[in-house]
Amino acid sequence: MAGDFMARKTARLRPSGWSFGRGADYVALAVVAVAAIVLAALALSGVSLRPGVNPNPTSRPAPTSFDLPTETPTATPTTAPAASVSLLGDQNSSGADSWWAQSIESATVGGVQSSARLGLERVSGSTAAVADLQQEIDATTSLSGYVIVQAGSTDVARGASSESIAAQVETLWKAVTIRGATPIVALLPPSDDDPEAIIAVNDALKTAAAAAGYGVLDLNAAVASPNGTWVTGFSDDGVVANARGSRILADAVASQLPVLVQEK
């Protein structure tokens, strides 16, 4: 009896082969389930378990190299050469403080460089008529670039008609053109003695210049009163600009001339 009792007790305390095998099965099933979940997660994230194969093209890893954008070459800016400008002028453009001296000759006008200064070199006295400037241009064999022509004030003071003055000035333009340059027509400054005559000559010059296709440099409006006389303080004698008036005219040249030499 006692032996049977001990045998039964020992049997109850010893784990049976059935209960151990059943627990192992549960563990195995859990491992398989976890593995399946991991594989599914990897598949959804686009990771391939096969080397060199990515089943999802949209989730390819970033390339290790890339092409740099091609730079467009920047064009080197070119600077246009300065236009050569000469002068064929009367007493209005002469003198150390004239508009010519304070603008083109002093190299303060953009895109323009001073060339020859014609006129008055062969003329005695302080005034030059159109005929005197015609002799000057006749003695010149060739020209280049642009030539500013300002003439007629002396002829107005001598009582010549506006029509005859304009016609003689047109002859100067033609002489400049024949010698290889392009004339620029400079209007006459005001006059306290003959304001109406100056206005008439300038009107005739503008009409002739437009017909010939020449640029017009207005050296009148900036210093003239509405009645054609000088603005107070811009001329000491009522005929030629003083230093202050010449400065105003030089500013007018600096604003107008670069446009005139670029139009050709």
Q: Where are the domains of the chain?
A: 17-59, 83-262
With a cut of 50, say whether residue 198 has pLDDT above it.
yes
Give me the residues paired with residue 224 across strands. Answer: 230
Q: What is the pLDDT of residue 151?
A: 95
Q: What is the pLDDT of residue 127?
A: 81
With a cut of 60, say whether residue 99 has pLDDT above it.
yes
The answer to whether the CB of 202 falls within 8 A of the CB of 221 is no
| Average pLDDT of the chain to the nearest whole number | 81
- Look up residue 99 and give its two tokens: 């508009």
With a cut of 60, say whether residue 76 has pLDDT above it.
no
Average pLDDT over residues 132-140: 92
Give me the residues paired with residue 87 across strands. Answer: 117, 148
With a cut of 50, say whether residue 172 has pLDDT above it.
yes
With a cut of 90, say whether residue 165 has pLDDT above it.
yes
- Confidence label for 124 from pLDDT (cuts 50, 70 and 90): very low
83-262 CATH fold? Rossmann fold (3.40.50)
Q: What is the tens place of the pLDDT at every residue in 24-65? A: 555 555 555 656 665 556 555 555 555 545 555 555 555 555
With a cut of 70, say whether residue 100 has pLDDT above it.
yes
Which DSSP string corresponds to 77-128? P-PPPPEEEEEEE-GGG-STTSHHHHTTTTT-STTEEEEEEESSSS--SS--
Q: What is the pLDDT of residue 138?
A: 93
Sign of CA dihedral 92, 97, 103, 106: positive
Q: What is the pLDDT of residue 70?
A: 63
CB atoms within 10 A of CB 177: 15
Average pLDDT over residues 197-208: 97
Q: What is the tens place of the pLDDT at every residue in 81-96? A: 889 999 999 999 988 8
Distances (CA, A) of 80 to 111, 156, 214, 261: 8, 40, 22, 12
Full-model pTM = 0.69
